[in-house]
Structure 1
């Protein structure tokens, strides 16, 4: 276990924190509307069983988040994970589902390419456009493999350093990431003082849910208050990496249906 104050590199225990009146949310999870396995209703059921909230951040789509927002007994945060033209991933979280819908239909859907997962818009322009909305922009898994981590794009000269600095915060720990990239993300979050921090599993199957959580230091039961807690930096992140084999299978580009569902139900 490594304790960095507001960032704790260890497996979280949401039940323990819940007894202390602290709210936990997995701020990065995928449904079958992008590259996840599960239907939204089953994701919400699993979150309910774990006693945590969840944010569905599907790639360049918001259908899952829209459905989740209708749930009344699980804390949900409207969100999306955008894949910019350069390939890096950016997380956007919104005060309301209406704000997310406006952002998506105005800025994301018109920029989709028919044969590519990359949008026809740069990371910097997406960040600039997001300023028109009540949202938070977060650098997803900054040092993740290849181009998906924005800091790799900055290092390779694909994205200007100034563009990365425009983001509101950093995903300090990503459950699906490897340990060394996560440690580098933690170091970056600590270095960029005053920025917001979040953490999430980046899960695609049930087993991954809750491996990394964002905790608000108060008992919160609605989207707006949790969003405010993140924005005002009244949160801390606790998380650890998923086991390598399960991580590899869950994030394989061509997983077998049987293999994915076997892994999925191991997490039940």
Structure 2
């Protein structure tokens, strides 16, 4: 089974609605975790079809939490890790050494995580290499994720698990046991173009109009 553990919808700063992302990913043979920034609002749209999660903005930077329910975690990193343990969730630093996108940096060595994102399709190569070294030194599973904000970025990274049927608890256990193999692929030229276009649209403030229109169409 192929799984991407880091994907954003228009409920935070992504372009597309959750159902569009799920449909696009399935065509690629990939399951996804929906990890919008500091919100689980989009999970109801695709409940049972995604791994529920969030990319939490902690005091040190971004950390992803994945659960078998729509989480509402605290933002303090120590409290977040306690919440994760109490609820059998998985927590990993996202793009930890990407200084341009709120990576937590050396805090990866000061807290106990379940895994580390060692390949982020949008992070600089050096940042990914640092993350991989950290995962090896800490004997933690490494994850490869797209960090998709546009659907065309899906498929740029994923992870393989030896699971036949999609069950969230089995996927989370696979990460905890370290039985996950990262598959870094890289962004296509089309994906890079769509990312650049979306960045410009967001800077111009057009994403708010896009979200509002889509929600009105969908009745959300």
TM-score (norm 1): 0.68
Using CA pairs under 8 Å that are at least 6 residues apart, name the structure with larger relative contact order, 1 or 2.
Answer: 1
CA distance in 1, matches of 2:179, 2:48: 26
User: Which among 121, 124, 138 is matched to residue 92 of structure 2?
Assistant: 138
Query: Which aligned pairs between 1:80-91 and structure 2 lie closer than 5 A?
Result: 80-86=54-60, 88-91=61-64
Unaligned runs of 5+ in 2: 211-220
Q: 1:41 to 1:54 in 2, by over 3 A?
A: same
Larger radius of gyration: 1
Q: 1:55 to 1:254 in 2, by over 3 A?
A: same
Size of the alignment, in residue pairs?
A: 204
- Greater shift after overlay, 249-258 or 29-38? 249-258
CA distance in 2, matches of 1:248, 1:136: 31
Q: Contact 2:132 / 2:142 at 8 angstroms: preserved in 1?
A: no
Q: Contact 1:176 / 1:202 at 8 angstroms: preserved in 2?
A: yes
CA distance in 2, matches of 1:255, 1:46: 26
Query: Which aligned pairs between 1:41-190 and structure 2 lie closer than 5 A?
Result: 41-71=19-49, 76-86=50-60, 88-94=61-67, 96-97=68-69, 100-101=70-71, 104=72, 107-108=73-74, 121-146=75-100, 148-151=102-105, 154=106, 161-162=109-110, 165-190=111-136
CA distance in 2, matches of 1:61, 1:240: 28
CA distance in 2, matches of 1:224, 1:131: 14
C-alpha distance after superposition, 1:15-45 (max 9, x if no partner):
xxxxxxxx10111100000000001111111
CA distance in 1, matches of 2:94, 2:204: 23
What RMSD over aligned residues (CA atoms) do the two structures have, in Å? 2.4
Q: Contact 2:92 / 2:117 at 8 angstroms: preserved in 1?
A: yes
